[in-house]
Amino acid sequence: MTAGEVWRNWSGTVRCAPARTVRPRDVDEIVAAVKRAQRDGQRLRPRGAGHSVTPVAATGDTAVDLAGWTGVCAVHRDSAQVVVRAGTPLYQLNAELDRFGLALTNLGDIDTQTLAGALATGTHGTGLRYGGMPTQVRELEIVLADGTVTRCSATEDPELFAAARTSLGALGVITEVTLQCEPAFALEAREYAEPVEQVLDRLDEYIATNDHFEFYWFPHGRNAMVKRDNRLPANATPRPMHPVRHWLEFDVLENAALGAVCRTARLAPALTAPLNRLCSALVSRRHYSDRSYRVLTTRRAVRFLECEYAFPLAALREVFDELRAAVRNLPYGVMIPAEVRVAAEDDVWLSGAYGRTTAYLSVQQYAGLAHREYFELFESIAASAGGRPHWGKFHTLSVDAQTARYPRLGDFRAVRAKVDPTGLFDSPYLSHVIGPVVP
Ligand SMILES: Cc1cc2nc3c(=O)[nH]c(=O)nc-3n(C[C@H](O)[C@H](O)[C@H](O)COP(=O)(O)OP(=O)(O)OC[C@H]3O[C@@H](n4cnc5c(N)ncnc54)[C@H](O)[C@@H]3O)c2cc1C
Q: What is the pLDDT along the chain (439 residues), one digit of tens a residue?
A: 677 789 999 989 999 999 999 999 999 999 999 999 999 999 999 999 999 999 999 999 999 999 999 999 999 999 999 999 999 999 999 999 999 999 999 999 999 999 999 999 999 999 999 999 999 999 999 999 999 999 999 999 999 999 999 999 999 999 999 999 999 999 999 999 999 999 999 999 999 999 999 999 999 999 999 999 999 998 899 999 998 888 888 877 777 888 888 899 899 999 999 999 988 888 889 999 999 999 999 988 888 899 999 999 999 999 999 999 999 999 999 999 999 999 999 999 999 999 999 999 999 999 889 999 999 999 999 999 999 999 999 999 999 999 999 999 999 999 999 999 999 999 999 999 999 998 7
List, in order, residues 6 or more apart from 382 with CB less than 8 Å away. 309, 311, 319, 361, 389
Per DSSP, helices labelled H in 12-122 are 27-40, 90-99, 115-120
Tell how far the Cα of 50 is from the centroid of ligand 1, in angstroms: 7
Q: Give the closest residue (by CA) to ligand 1 atom 45.
A: 169
Q: Given the CA of residue 133, which atom of ligand 1 is nearest to it? A: 11
- Please state, in angstroms and rounded to a whole number, the distance separating the CA atoms of residues 162 and 419: 14
User: What is the β-pairing status of strands 44-47 and 62-65?
Assistant: parallel
Tell how far the Cα of 134 is from the centroid of ligand 1, in angstroms: 12
Task: Please give the C-alpha separations between residue 209 and each of 131, 215, 230, in angstroms, as whole numbers.
Answer: 16, 14, 9
Residue list, ligand 1 pocket, CB within 6 Å? 10, 45-52, 56-57, 66, 86, 108-110, 113-114, 116-118, 120-121, 123-124, 168-169, 173-174, 300, 390, 392
What local confidence, expressed as pLDDT, does residue 362 receive? 98
Listed in order, strand segments (DSSP E) in 80-185 are 81-85, 102-103, 137-143, 149-153, 173-180, 182-183
What local confidence, expressed as pLDDT, does residue 246 receive? 86
**Radius of gyration from C-alpha coordinates of the chain:** 21
List, in order, residues 6 or more apart from 329 with CB less than 8 Å away. none
**Using CA atoms in the order 413, 166, 14, 381, what is the torsion angle rounded to 10 degrees?**
-80
3-state secondary structure of 90: helix
- Please state, in angstroms and rounded to a whole number, the distance separating the CA atoms of residues 23 and 117: 15
User: Which residue out of 47, 84, 85, 293 has the highest number of ligand 1 atoms within 8 Å of its CB and is therefore the one to mutate?
Assistant: 47
Q: Given the CA of residue 142, which atom of ligand 1 is nearest to it? A: 42
What local confidence, expressed as pLDDT, does residue 1 receive? 67
**Using CA atoms in the order 231, 232, 233, 239, what is the torsion angle rounded to 10 degrees?**
-160
3-state secondary structure of 126: coil
Nearest partner of 335 among 381, 374, 391, judged by Cα: 374
Q: Give the closest residue (by CA) to ligand 1 atom 33.
A: 117
Helix axes 258-267, 272-281, angle to 10 degrees: 160
- Please state, in angstroms and rounded to a whole number, the distance separating the CA atoms of residues 169 and 217: 32
pTM of the prediction? 0.96
Coarse DSSP helix, strand, coil percentages of the chain, rounded to the nearest 5 percent: 35, 25, 40
